[in-house]
Structure 1
Amino acid sequence: MIEVADLYEDLTHAFNLRLPQTTDDETTDLYKILSIYVRHQQDFENDLELVEEWRAIDNAEGTALDLLGKSVGQYRIDDDDEFFRFQIKAAYAIAHSNGTCDDLLNLISSVLQVPKKLIRLEEGYTTGGNARSIKISGIPFVYAQDSRRVSLLTNLIGKGVALGIHLAGVYFSEESGAEIEISMAMQILESQTITQKRGG
């Protein structure tokens, strides 16, 4: 695989042979174009690395999965390999997050397996509220059926929000249009679990 740094060096060398000083001066259009190109290439390379890591997670079992989890500070709480894979992927997602709205959308989408188009992120300045706040809503409640995932989502969103940004709330939507705050959703899921265990 071509390294982005090598590619940038080769391109700047080629341009410098023809147009000396154009790639070293940050004010030139050529420098700006090359910077944009290199930044996109780096993002693409990072995405490829993430895909490779996730493939390794999908194929790992037992001790191998434990080692992958340990590499991101995630430790097994039970024997459920599938949920542990999910926890590891979520930890990778948060490690690669910059706290942007797009990163939060990706995180919520991957944790709950919900299409991004169903999630609404409202920044405070757009609604007349605190300019440094964010509200997450519109997530259909049907995607909140696993209480472990919802609990993990609560922790991850707190870590994923950029420093200095206040989380105004996370809300699920019912078919009726009513909104359920995430802590209430957890109570509903926990009461359903207790009822199912009792055989109700």
Structure 2
Amino acid sequence: MDILKVFTSKIPGSLNATYNPNMNKLVTFFAEYLSEIQSLFKKIELYRNIDGASGKLLDEIGEKVGEVRGQADDEFYRIMLKSKIASRKGDATVNGILTIIKNSLGVDVKNIKVVPLPDEPQAVVIKDVPLEFANDTWKQQYLLRRIEGTVAAGVRVHEVRFIDNSNTTVKVVSGTQSAIIVKEGSDV
């Protein structure tokens, strides 16, 4: 949006800047500064965006959200911040759990399943959560704790199964509160 054109179009005909050189100078003067202010606000908006921030600025966003970086790189720290913000919304239904996974990981959740445990009605198993974002044990533990923390009170997450389809073999990482178990192979 060109501020000079907008500014000129808003001036009444009696003060038309096209025919009055002094008014034209004044309008141009204000339009230049308004244009600088507009570009500054666009930069601020970009930096405040979690996807546009990095390094120290991302750490400052994390302080406001209440999430400490730890050993996470910028890419995974963005996932941590998004999952923290999504989990604050407090929707502990199956759709809420899927929404939190979708918002934090940015993945399609149509293949993710939340199923009740047959022997225990207050326990669920979350299957087929994509693993490409969590390539080490620390990241997997973090995602496991975040997903477990989103379910309703009284409901226990028995297992979260992460699946890694990036290679030719399928890698399933099952996590419970006590351990992470890695299984590899096509028969998993």
**TM-score w.r.t. structure 2 length?**
0.56
2:181 to 175, 184, 191: 184
Structure richer in strand, relative to its length: 2
What are the Cα deviations for residues 65-88 of structure 1, in whole angstroms up to 9, with x where unaligned?
Answer: 222111121122248322222211
Matched, 1:89 2:86: no
Query: Which structure 2 segments of 5+ residues have no match?
Result: 1-44
State the SS of the aligned residue for 2:49: helix
Within 1, Cα distance between the matches of 2:123 and 2:129? 18
Within 1, Cα distance between the matches of 2:46 and 2:115? 31
| Higher-Rg member (1/2) | 2
The question of whether the paired residues in 2 share the 8 Å contact of 1:112 and 1:144 is answered with no
Within 2, Cα distance between the matches of 1:53 and 1:161? 32
Deviation at 1:157, TM superposition (A): 1.5
What is aligned with 1:130?
120
CA change 1:143–1:65 in 2 (3 A) is: closer
Q: What pairs with 1:144-155 in structure 2 (closer than 5 Å)?
A: 145-155=135-145
Matched, 1:56 2:49: yes
The aligned amino acid for 2:123 is S
CA change 1:59–1:95 in 2 (3 A) is: same
The question of whether the paired residues in 1 share the 8 Å contact of 2:116 and 2:125 is answered with yes
The question of whether the paired residues in 1 share the 8 Å contact of 2:46 and 2:52 is answered with no
CA change 1:100–1:73 in 2 (3 A) is: same
Structure richer in helix, relative to its length: 1
Deviation at 1:64, TM superposition (A): 2.7
Q: What pairs with 1:159-170 in structure 2 (closer than 5 Å)?
A: 159-170=149-160
What are the Cα deviations for residues 80-99 of structure 1, in whole angstroms up to 9, with x where unaligned?
Answer: 32222221111111111321
What is aligned with 1:171?
161
What is aligned with 1:73?
66
The aligned amino acid for 2:181 is M
Q: What pairs with 1:106-125 in structure 2 (closer than 5 Å)?
A: 106-124=99-117
Equivalent pairs, count: 133
Deviation at 1:129, TM superposition (A): 2.7
Query: Which structure 1 segments of 5+ residues have no match?
Result: 1-51, 189-200
For the aligned residues, what is the CA RMSD? Answer: 3.4
